[in-house]
Amino acid sequence: MRTIDYTIEPPVVEGKPSLSSINEDIARPLETKPPKGWYIAISISLTMLLIGAVSLAITFIKGVGVWGVNQPVGWGFDIVNFVFWVGIGHAGTLISAILFLLRQRWRTSIARFAEAMTIFAVMCAGLFPAIHTGRPWLDGYLLPYPNQHGLWVNFTSPLLWDVFAVSTYFTVSLVFWYIGLIPDLATLRDRTTNKFKKVIYSIFSLGWRHSTKHWNHYEMAYLILAGFATPLVLSVHTIVSFDFAVSIMPGWHTTIFPPYFVAGAVFSGFAMVQNVLIVIRKVFKIEHIITLDTLEKMNKVMLATGMMVGYAYAMEFFIAWYSGNPIEQFVFLNRALGPYAWAYWTMVSCNVLFTQLFWFKKIRRSIPVMFVIGVLVNVGMWFERFVIVVTSLSRDYLPSSWGMYIPSIFDIGILIGSFGLFFTLIFLFIRTLPVVSIAEVKAVLPDAQPTHGGNH
Amino acid sequence: MENKPLYSIAATFSDVNKTIDAVQKINEAGYKNYDVHAPYPVHGLPQAMKLKSSKLGWVTLVFGFSGAVFAFLFMYWVNVFDYPLIVGGKPFYQLPAYIPVMFEVTVLSAAVFTVVWMLFILFKFPNNSHPLIDTDYMKRVSVDRYGISIQANDEIFDFYKVKEFFKSLGAEEVFEIYYKVDELQDRPKIFDKKFISFLVLTSVIVSAITYFVLNQLLFMSPFNWMHKQFRLNPQTSTTVFKDGFGMRTPVEGTVARGYLPYPFKGKPAEAEMKLVNPLVPTEQVLKLGKSKYLTYCSPCHGNYGFGDSRLRGQFPNPPTLHSDKIRNMKDGGIFHIITEGQNVMPSYASQLTVDERWAIVHYIRVLQRSVNPKESDLR
Amino acid sequence: MSQDNFRKHWKSLRDYYNPEELKKLKEDEFLEGTIDTVDLAGMPPISRRRFLALLSASSAFAFAACSNFKDKGEIVPYNKKPEEIIIGNANYYASSLNCCQNTCSVLVKTREGRPIKIDGNPDHPVNQGKVCIRGQASILNLYDPDRLKSPQQRVSNRQFAPISWREANKSITDALKKSVDQNKEIAFISYKVNSPTTLLVLNEFKQKYPTTKFYFYSNFSNKAKIETWKEVYGTSEVPSIKLNQAKVILSLESDFLSTDGDVIDQVRQFAETRNVNDLKNFSRLYVVEGNLTLTGSNADYRIKLRPDYQKDFLLSLLNEILKRTNPKVNLPAELVSQIKNYDLNSVVSKHKLSKEVVSTLVDDLIKNQGKSIVLCGDRNGKDEQILALILNEVLGNTSLYDFSSTYVNLVEENSIQDFENLIQKINQGLVGIVINFDCNPVYDFSYLKLSDAFSKVNLVVTLTEQKSETTAFSNFVLPIHNELESWNDFQVRSNILNLQQPVISPMYDTRQKESVLITWTTGEVYYDSIYQRKLKSRWQNEVFTKFPTLDNFDTFWYASLHDGFVTLPSKTTNKPAFALKSFNLSNENKSNEILLSIYPHPYLYDGKFGNNGWLHEVPHPISKIVWDNYAAISPKTAKDLNLKNGDLIQVSNGKYNVGLPVFVQAGLADNLICVETGYGREECGEIGKGVGFNVQFLINKNSSSVYNSYVNVKKTGEVYNLVTAQEHHSLDDTFVKDFHRKRKIIQEGTLLQYEKDPDFIQKERPELLSIVNEVKYKDVKWAMAIDMNKCIGCNACVVSCVAENNIPMVGKDQVEKGREMHWIRIDTYYSGTPDEVTVSNQPMLCQHCDNAPCENVCPVSATNHSPDGLNQMAYNRCVGTRYCSNNCPYKVRRFNFFDFRSHFNNEYQYQEPLNFLNNPEVTVRSRGVMEKCTFCVQRIMEARQKAIEQGNEFDGSGVMTACQQACPSNAIVFGNMLDKNSEVSKLRNHKLAYYVLEETNVKPNVTYIAKLRNINSESV
C-alpha cells in the first residue's frame, strides 16, 4: 500500500530541459517563419475583425438605432459583450496575481499568456461602453476634465465607476505585464541577430542587464503589483455588477451580484484561457511547459467556480421568493418560463450541468472533452449576461411598456468583430513576444535555485 | 591595448551554487563596486551580496495614500462647492458613492508610480548605452550563465589580480568590459537641418489636420451639436417665402388677443374726450414711465421735458411739455399723440405697449407738476 | 621601476604608462572631444535664434488651427415692426377651425406672425379652451410640404402642368357660361356648408349661373337624426343636450366621447358628472354597442349587442318601460301594438345579454326619470333614432334638451340617391361642369365609383388644399387657403356665431375658396381681402343689426374678431310638442351571417386628414394600433373562423371585395366585423399614401343604416403586419393576467365602496422611510394630478404635447421596434374575461420623482433635479448611454435612436416649411439624445419671466402644461404643490389619491385619482 506525499509539489515543467533549451523553445516562434496554420488563423480573425469594423462604422454613421435596442430594452448586445469580455479578462489577473501570491508555481507557465489575454479582453470590453452611446463623439464627457460647461461628471453613477475601474484595470494589467516582459525582452535583445528587432527589443527592454541589484527591487515591485492587482480584479467585476445591482430594476437590484459576477468572471476566463492554451501548446509544441497537470488544475478551478455560479442562480430564485416582492418574483419566473426561457436554460445547462463532468479525472485530463466543455462554458456565460441584461429589462414594472429585444445583424456583426479583435491580437502576440515568461520558467526549473548558502 | 576606458572585468559561472560561493568570497575580499548577473532571480544572491531588502514599499504607500486623498478631496469639492446638483434626491456629499472611485485611483497611482519610481529613479532607465549591454558576457548571462562583474572604479581594483581572482573562483570565462567610446562622443543632433525641417513639417501637418477636424469634420454628418436646429428662430431668414423673411407681418385687419386696434385713428379730439388713464400713478408705474420716457421721449423733449435736447436745432424744435397747451391737455390727448404721432413726431405704438404709454403720461404729469407746482404742493 | 610607482594603484596599463592623460580624462566632465572643443565649422547651420523663431512659428500654426471660424448666420429683422408683435413673444389669435361638422373656436399661438400651436378658445361657451385631437393636429396641415402651391391643369391622364390663376379662371368662367347657355347642369359638390357667408356666396354664384345644382354631403352625417327629429317634433332644430345634468346615460351605438356629435362639448359635460367631490351627481353610463369604442371603454355597464339588433333591444326596452310606467305621451297606435311582440327577457336571452345588467338599466331609467338621457348614435337607422326619441319622451328626459342652443342646419344634405342621379345625368351628358368645393367625393363615395363618372364630364374643377383621389380626375386643380389663412364665419349652434381670421399671410399662390367663387361670379380682379369685405359687409348688414344697443360697427367687429365669436341674443325657444303621427317599423331581413359595421376612425375620422402623420402615429385608443386600420373581431368569432392577428381576409358585400387584416379585439360582439374609415388613401401626400385600407367601398347604400352590411369573409392565407404601440397579453394568459391591478398601477373602486369606506385607497398605501434626509424645496415645487374618473383616453394630450415639444414622427417600423417618441402616452389595460372586458386607461408621463432613479445613474449629470422640483434633461450634455431609461420604472424616457427626422420617410420631416412648426422655445433634439416630459419647462420659464418683469413674487400660479391645456375633460391639473391652496396640492391630499409604484420609494410627483366605477357592487 503506497502512500503519496502531498507536501512535494510535482515539477512545473516536465522532463529536465536546460536553461538554454528554454530560451530556444520559447523564442522559436519569434524567429522561425510562421506555420501555414497561423496564416489561416489570422486571416480568419482579421475577416471577423473587418466584419466588426464595418458594422461599427455603419452604427457610427446612422446611430445605435441600427441595433435591436429599444424601449424598454435600452441595453442589448453592447453591454452583454462588455460584461462578457471584462469577465474573460479576469482569469488572466487571477492567474498571474492571485496564484502568484498563493505561491502556486504551476501558474508560471501560463501567467504571461493569461496576462496578455487579460489585456486584449479588456481592450475588447472597453470598446463597448465607448460605442454604445448615442453620440460616441462625446464620450469624452465621461471623463472629469474641466470643460466649458463648468460641469463635472456624476460620481454617483455606476457607469462612471466603470470608467475608472476599467481604465485602472487596463493600465495596471498593462504595467504588470510589461514589467514581466522586461527581462525576457532583454534576453531576446541579446539573442537576436536581426538589426531591426534588436532596436525594438533594446527600446522596450530599457537596457535591462539581469543585475541582481535590479532583481532585488524587481521582485519587490512584482510582489507589490500582484498585491494590488488582486483586490483590483475583484473590484472591477464588483463595480461592473454595480451597473445592475445599484439600479432599481427587478432582477438587477440584487446584493448577490458582486461575488456572483466575480465567480462568473473567473469561470468564463479560465474556460477561455484553457481553450486558447490547448491550441497554443499544440501548435508550438510546448506541451512540456504548459503541462496537462496545469490544464487539469484549471479544470478544477472551473468546476469550483461553476458551482459557485450555480449556487448564485439558485440563491437568486430563493431570495426572489423569500423577499415576497411579487415583481421580483415574476422577473425570475419570467426568466425560466417567459419568452426568453431558451436563453435561461442554455445558460443553466452550459454553466452548471456540463461542468459537473469535471468531477471525473478522465474528463479533466482529456484534451478534446475539456475543450468542448470550455467552449460551452463561454457560451453559457455569454448567455448569463444576456439573461441578466435583456430579460430583466424586457418585462419590468409596467406591463404597458413591456417589449421584446431582437438583435439586428449589426449587433451580431460587432460581437463577431470583438472576437476578431481578440484573436487577431492573440495571434500577433504569439508571433512577436514570448508566450511564456522565460525568466520565471528558468527560475522554477529543477536545480535552478541554490541548494545551500542563500537562506530561504 | 587599444585606447578604450575600462568599465569592468566580468566572469561567468555555470553553476548557481558556485556563483554564490564566489560572491561571498568577493565580499570577503572587500570589493564594493561589483554586481552579479543572472538570467532569473536567484534566491540567496542578494543576501550573499549583503544587499538591503528593497524599500520600494514606502513609495507605494505614499503614492497610494495621496491618490486616495486626492480622489476624495476632488469629488468633495466638485459635489459640494464647485457644482452642487440635486441628483436622485440625495445630499450633495455622499461618501458611499465616492468609495469605488477612491479605491481605483489609489490602486492606479500606487501601482503606476511604484513602477515608474523603480525604473526611472532607482534603475535610471532607459539606459541602453551601458557598457555591459551588447557584450558577449551579457549574451551568456541572459541565457544560462551566472556572471560577476567587478568595476574598474572599485577602490581595490587591480586588473591582473581581479583576473586571477576570478580564475581561482572557478570562472568559466573572463571578460574585459570597456566604455563604448564612439557612443560617448556623439554630438547632440537637435540643431540638425533635417530635424528642424522635420519639426516644421510635422507642425504644419498637425495644424492642417487640427484645422480640418475642428472646423470642417466636426460639423459634417453624423456629428451633431444641436447648434443649428431645424426650427425658425426670431430674425432669421427662410427660403419658403420669396422675400426671404422668416418673420411674417400679420394679415391686415386681424386682431390679436389684447391688441384691439386703436379706435381713434385721426380723431385726436374724440380720443382726448373719451380716453381715460387706466393706471394709478403708483411708484412702480412712475418708475416704468420714467425709464420709458428717458428712453423714447428725452432725445427730443429733453430729460425734464423742456424740449431742450442734443437734437435741438437739427429738426424743427420739439416743444416743451410745460406749455399751458399740454398742461391743460387731458391724459387721453397726450396718449393719442404718443400713439399716433404729430407733425414730425412719429407714432410710438410699435415701440411702447399701451400700459407703457399711459405710464409715460403719468410721468409727464409729474414733470409738469415739479416745474409749476400747485399751491398745495408749495405749502 | 621606482618604489612609489608600486605604491600608487593603477587601474589599466594605459593608466600605468601615461597617467597625465588619464588624469585629464577624469577631470573632464565628459570624455575626449565631447563638447569643449568649439570649432565654428562644426557648428550647425541653423542658429539657436533661428531655431526658436521656427519653433514659435510652428506653434503659432497650431494655435491658428485650433481657432474656430464658423459662420454664425445672418440676422433678418422686420422692416417695420407690427405693433402687436414683440420679437420672441407669442401672440394669440381667436379663430375657428372646421375639422369636422362641429366648428371649433380656437386660440392660435403665433410667433413672429407664424402659428405654432392651436388650442381651444377659452372664452367660447362650447369649446371652453379645448379642441379635439384633430384640432390639435390640424396645424400640421398648414405646414405640410405636400400642400398644393399653385394652380394645376391636367394635360394628360394624371399629368398636371402649372397654370396661372388668370388663365384657369378664364377658361372656367367661359365653361360656366357655356354650360348655362347649353342649359347643362353645373354640379357643385361640397361638404355640408355651415358658414352663412359662404352660403351667401354660393347663392350669388347660383344666381349668376342658374343651372347650378348644389350637392351637399358630410361623412357620418347626423342626417337621420335631423329628419327623425323633424318627424317627431316638426322642427329641424335639434337641441343640444345638457349631459352634465344626466344621472343615467344610455348610449346606443353612440360614441359620443370620441366621434359622435359635438364631442368637445359632450366630453366636458360628461366629465363634469364624474366629479369625485360631488358624488350626488355622479353619473352612470350604460353603453349598448357592438364595437368596443372609447365610450364603451368608459362605460360603467356595457352591453355587447350587434348594431343590427339595436332595434329589437330598443323596442323591448320601450315595451318594458311602458309596462312599468304610465307616461302621458300618446304614442301612435300601431307602434303600441307592435311593441307588444318584443319582450325584454326573450331579447336578453336571445342575445345572451346579462340579465342583471339589463334589469338595473331598466330600474335606473325608471328611477331617474327626467334625469337620464338616451343617446342614439348617428350611425343608427331612422327607426332606432325615433325609438330613442320616444324613450326620452316617455321617461321625461326631454328636460335635458337644451333649446337655447340648438344645432343649426344652414343647408339640407343630399341623399345618396341624389348622387346616383348625378351619375345618371353625367352618363346622359346633361352635366357641363363638376365643381368639387374643397371636398373629396371620389374617395368618400368610393362605392359609387364617381371617378368613372367624372372622367366622362368634360370639365371637372376641384378646389382643394392637397392632392386627393378627386384631383386625379379633375381638369383644373385650384389650390386654396388653409383655414389658418382664411376669413370666414361659422354657425353650428343657434346662439353662437364663430369668426375665423387668418393667423398667417398666405404662404403660397393660393386663394380662399370663397374668393375664387366671387371672382367667378362678379368677374372682378382678385385681391386678398375680397372675401373679407364680403364677410364684413354681411356682418354689418345682418349680424350687427341684431345688436340694437351698439352704435359703432367697427368696435363690434374688432371685438368679435378679438373674441373669435359673438353670442347672439337668444330667442328662448321652448320644447316643441311631441307630434309623432304614425310609425311603422321598416322590416329589414335580419340574418345571422357576419355583419360588417363601419365606424369613423377616432383620429383620422373620414380620412380628410389622411396626410397628417401625427394622427397616424397616435396609438388607437382601444387597440393601440398605429399607421393602420383593420378588421376587428371578437375572440370567439376569431376561433370560429380560425383567424388570428394579422391574417388577411377578403370581405365581400356582394359588390366589392376588400382585403383587411384581422385584429382580435376582446369585448366585441360576436359575428361582427368592425372596420374604421379614414385609411387607404391612394392620392394624398407622402405620408398618407397607401397607408391602411379603404373601407368606403363597403358602405351599404340600400340599408337604412348605410354603415352596416352583411358580408362573407374569406381567409386569404396571407399575413399582414399590424403594429401596436403597446404589447397586449391575451386575457386568459394566467402568467401575466391583471398585473396592473396586482401591482397597484391601476387602482379603482366603486362608488358604493368609496361611500362606505373613503379610505380604501389610503389604507393600501405603503409605509416609506428614507436613509438620507430629503432635499428641501422652497417657494415653488411642481406637481401634476390626473383624475382617472375624468380621463377618457382620447389622446388629445398626446398630440398637444407633440406640437408643443417638437416631437418627431418615427414611422410604423420604428413603433414596431418600440421606439415611439411620445412624451405622454395612454396606457390601456384590460381585465375581466375576453368577452366581458373592463378597460382602464392611464396617462403615463415622466413622474418627475423626487428620488429620481434616472438621475443617480447618468454618468454625465445630463439629467438632474431643478430647484423647483423638475427632473430636467440637459440635452447637449447627454451622450446617450440609455442607462436612465433602463432605470426608469415607468419607462417614460424616450431616446433618439436615429435622427428620426431624417430617418422617417426619406427626410420628409426635414422639408421646409415644417421647421415653422417647431416651437422656437424648445430644442430640436439630435440623434443619440435622451428626452422626456419636461412639464413644459418653457412655459414655466415664460411665466416666471413675466412675474419678474412685473416685479411680482412668482407663486407658480397660471402655468398650464400643453397636455393640461388640451385635455377636453380637464382631467389633468398642474401647479405648485407647496402652495396649500393650489388645486394640485388639494388633489395630492385627496382620499382617492395614489401614486403608481409608490413602493419603489422614488417619490413620484404625478398623483393619480383612483377611478370610481358607478356599479351596484362594493368592489371592481
Could you tell me what percentage of chain C is helix, strand and coil, using 3-state DSSP and rounding each to the nearest 5? 35, 20, 45
Coil/strand/helix, residue A442: helix
Q: Pick from B24, B60, B87: which is nearest to A156 by CB?
A: B87
Compute φ and ψ for A233, nearest 5 degrees: -60, -35
Q: Which domain holds residue B360?
A: 268-378
- pLDDT digit string (tens) for B281-295? 888 888 888 888 988
Dihedral sign (CA C701, C702, C708, C711): negative
Residues B15 and B163 in one domain: yes
Mean pLDDT across the stretch C517-525? 92
Q: How far apart are CA C407 and CA C409, in angstroms?
A: 7
Region C758-763: mean pLDDT is 92
* Nearest neighbour of B51 by CB, restricted to A61, A187, A213: A213
Q: Does residue C5 surpass a pLDDT of 50?
A: no
| Residue A374 predicted with pLDDT over 90 | yes
Q: Do A171 and B111 touch (CB under 8 A)?
A: yes
Chains sharing 3 or more CB pairs under 8 A with chain B = A, C
Contacts of A129 in chain C (CB under 8 A): 881
Residues B16 and B163 grouped into a single domain? yes
- C1 has a pLDDT exceeding 60: no
Q: Do C1002 and C851 meet the contact criterion of CB atoms below 8 Å apart? A: yes
Residue B158 has pLDDT above 60, yes or no: yes
The pLDDT of residue C836 is 84
C966-1005 residues touching A, CB cutoff 8 A: 996-997, 1000, 1002
Asked if A156's CB is within 8 angstroms of B97's CB, the reply is yes
* Position B74 in a domain: yes
- B108/A206 CB distance under 8 A: no
- What share of chain C has pLDDT > 70, as a percent? 94
Q: A11-25, A243-257, A408-422, C690-704: which range is least confident on average?
A: A11-25
CB contact under 8 A, A139 and C879: yes
Residue C177 has pLDDT above 70, yes or no: yes
Determine contact, residues C948/C942, Cβ cutoff 8 Å.
no
pLDDT of amino acid C34: 45
- Nine-digit cell string for A312: 448564485
Mention every residue, 6+ apart, whose C-beta is less than 8 A from residue A89.
Answer: A117, A118, A119, A121, A122, A125, A169, A173, A265, A269
Among B183, B203, B230, the domain boundary falls at B183
Of residues B303, B283, B279, the one with CA closest to residue B357: B279
Cα torsion through B182, B183, B189, B193, rounded to 10: 40
Determine the distance in angstroms separating the CA of A191 from the nearest CA of chain B, rounded to an integer: 7
- Could you tell me if B158 and B307 lie in one domain? no
Among B140, B160, B183, the domain-final residue is: B183
User: What Å distances lie between residue A56 and A62, A326, A385, C437, C898, CA to CA?
Assistant: 10, 40, 21, 55, 15
Separation between Cα atoms, residue C837 and residue C888, nearest integer Å? 29
pLDDT at residue B115 greater than cutoff 50: yes
Contacts for A174 with CB less than 8 Å, ≥ 6 apart: A119
**pLDDT value for A442:** 86
Residues 10-69 of B with CB under 8 A from C: none
Q: Which of A171, A231, A455 sits opposite B108 (nearest CB)?
A: A171
Across the interface, which of A150, A190, A443 has its CB nearest the CB of B138? A190
Joined together, the cell numbers standing for residue C968 give 377636453
Q: How far is A155 from chain C (nearest CA, A)?
A: 7
Lowest mean pLDDT among A157-171, B320-334, C301-315, C806-820: B320-334
Asked if pLDDT for residue C246 goes beyond 90, the answer is yes
Q: Mutating which of A401, A408, A411 best tests the C interface, going by the most C Cβ atoms within 10 A?
A: A401
B187 within 8 A of C43, measured Cβ to Cβ: no
pLDDT for position B113: 95
Residue C44, pLDDT score: 59
pLDDT tens digits for C739-753?
A: 888 899 999 999 999
Split at pLDDT 50, 70, 90, the class of A453 is: very low
- Of B80-89, B310-319, C660-669, which range is least confident? B310-319
> By CA distance, what is B86's nearest residue in A?
A154
- Among residues of chain C, what percentage have pLDDT more than 90? 68
Q: How confident is the model at residue A11 (pLDDT cuts 50, 70, 90)?
A: low
Cis preceding linkage at C913, omega within 30: yes
- pLDDT tens for A143-200 read 999 888 788 999 999 999 999 999 999 999 999 999 999 999 999 998 888 888 898 9
Are the Cβ atoms of C879 and A399 closer than 8 angstroms?
Answer: no
Per-residue pLDDT averaged across C340-361, rounded? 90
Q: What is the pLDDT of residues C117-176, one digit of tens each?
A: 999 999 999 999 999 999 999 999 999 999 999 999 999 877 899 999 999 999 999 999
Under 8 Å between Cβ of C634 and C623: no
How far off is chain A from B101, nearest CA to CA, in Å? 6
Q: Taking CA atoms, what residue in A is nearest to C863?
A: A154
- Chain C residues in contact with A72 by the CB 8 A cut-off are 818, 885-886, 891
Chain C stretch 860-899, residues whose beta carbon is closer than 8 A to a beta carbon of chain A? 860-861, 864, 874, 877-883, 885-887, 889-891, 893-899
Using CA atoms in the order C460, C466, C472, C474, what is the torsion angle rounded to 10 degrees? 10
Task: Using an 8 Å CB-CB cutoff, list chain A residues near B17.
Answer: 450-453
Contact present, C51 and B196 (Cβ < 8 Å): yes
Q: B298 in a domain, yes or no?
A: yes
C595-599 and C712-719 as β-strands: parallel, antiparallel, unpaired? unpaired
C53 close to A (CB below 8 A)? no
Which of A29-43, C652-666, C781-795, C908-922 has the least mean pLDDT?
A29-43
Using DSSP, state whether C748 is helix, strand or coil: strand
Q: Could you tell me which chains touch chain A, where touching means 3 or more CB pairs under 8 A?
A: B, C
- Please answer yes or no on whether B128 and A203 come within 8 Å at the CB atom: yes
- CA-nearest residue to A186 within chain B is B142
Residue C68, pLDDT score: 60
Q: What's residue C631's pLDDT?
A: 94
A111 CB neighbours in chain B (<8 A) are none
Is residue B171 located within the same domain as residue B25?
yes
- Residues of B within 8 A of A214 (CB-CB) are 123
- Which residue, B159, B183, B207, sits at the end of a domain? B183
Contacts of B75 in chain C (CB under 8 A): none
Q: Do A247 and C844 touch (CB under 8 A)?
A: no
C856 with B90: Cβ contact below 8 A: yes
Report pLDDT for A35.
84
State the average pLDDT over residues B39-45: 88
The DSSP line for C358-405 is: HHHHHHHHHHTTTTEEEEE-TTS-HHHHHHHHHHHHHHTGGGGEEEEE
The single-letter DSSP state of residue B144 is T
Could you tell me if residue B205 is inside a domain? Answer: no
pLDDT higher than threshold 70 for residue B186? no
Chain B 321-360, residues with CB within 8 Å of chain C CB atoms = 349-350
Q: What is the pLDDT of residue C25?
A: 55
Number of domains in chain B: 2
Where is average pLDDT lowest: A199-203, C538-542, C586-590, C845-849? C586-590
Query: Residue C449: is its pLDDT beyond 60?
Result: yes
Model confidence at C35: pLDDT above 50: no
Contact across the interface for C78 and B224, Cβ inside 8 Å: no
| Chain A interface disruption, residue of B104, B213, B219, B220, most A CBs within 10 A | B104
CB-nearest partner of B230 from C61, C773, C924: C924
How does C869-880 read in b/e, with b if 16+ C-beta sit within 10 Å?
A: bbbbbbbbbbbb
B223 touches chain C (CB under 8 A): no
Q: Is B104's CB within 8 Å of A164's CB?
A: yes
Q: What residues pair up with C714 in beta bridges, in sequence order?
A: C650
Q: What is the mean pLDDT of residues C422-451?
A: 93
Report the complex ipTM.
0.89
Locate the domains of chain A by residue range: 35-136+152-443
Query: Which of A205, A217, A442 to mutate against chain B (most B CBs within 10 Å)?
Result: A217
Q: What is the pLDDT of residues A311-345, one digit of tens each?
A: 999 999 999 999 888 999 999 999 999 899 999 99
pLDDT band at C33 (very low <50, low <70, confident <90, very high): very low
Quick check: B20 contacting A, CB < 8 Å?
A: yes
Q: Where are the beta strands (DSSP E) in B117-214?
A: 146-151, 173-178
Q: How far is CA A285 from the centre of its chain?
A: 24
Backbone angles phi, psi at C230, to 5 degrees: -60, -45
**Closest CA of chain A from C856, distance in Å:** 6
Q: What is the pLDDT of residues C391-403, one digit of tens each?
A: 999 999 999 999 8
Determine contact: B68 vs chain A, CB below 8 A: no
- Please give the pLDDT value at position C684: 87
pLDDT at B32: 86
Structural domain includes residue B233: no
Q: What is the 3-state secondary structure (H, E, C) of C679-735?
A: CCCCCCCCCCCCCCCCCHHHCCCCCCCCCEEECEEEEEEEECCCEECCCCCCCCCHH
The per-residue pLDDT for range B345-365, each reduced to its tens digit, is 888 888 888 888 999 998 988
* Mutate: best of A71, A147, A148, A332, partner C, most C CBs <10 A: A71
| Averaged pLDDT of chain A | 89
> Could you tell me how many CB contacts below 8 A there are between chain B and chain C?
260
- From chain A, the residues in CB contact with B44 under 8 A are 449-450, 453-456
CB contact, 8 Å: B252 with chain C?
yes
In this predicted structure, the answer to whether residue C935 has a pLDDT above a threshold of 50 is: yes
Mean pLDDT, chain C, integer? 89
- For A90-154, give the DSSP string: HHHHIIIIIHHHTT-GGGHHHHHHHHHHHHHHHHHHHHHHHHSSSSGGGGGGGS----TT-----
Helix, strand or coil, per DSSP, at residue C303: strand
B261 touches chain A (CB under 8 A): no
Q: Which chain B residues are within 8 Å of C33, Cβ to Cβ?
A: 185
Test mutation, C871, C915, C923, chain B, max B CBs within 10 A:
C915
Mutate one of A58, A155, A197 to test the B interface: name it (highest B CB count within 10 A).
A155
With beta carbons less than 8 A apart as the criterion, state whether C541 and C556 touch: no
Q: Is C225 in contact with C381 (CB distance < 8 Å)? A: no
Residue C115 has pLDDT above 50, yes or no: yes
pLDDT tens string A86-126: 999 988 888 888 888 888 877 887 888 889 999 999 999 99
Residue B11 amino acid letter: A
Does B263 reside within a domain?
no
What is the CATH number that goes with domain A35-136+152-443? 1.20.1630.10
Q: What is the pLDDT confidence band of residue A26, given thresholds at 50, 70 and 90? A: confident
DSSP state of A157: -
- Average pLDDT score over residue span A209-214: 90
Within a domain: B208? no
User: What is the DSSP annotation of C465-508?
Assistant: SB--TTGGG-SEEEEB--GGG--EEE--BTTEEEEE--SS---S
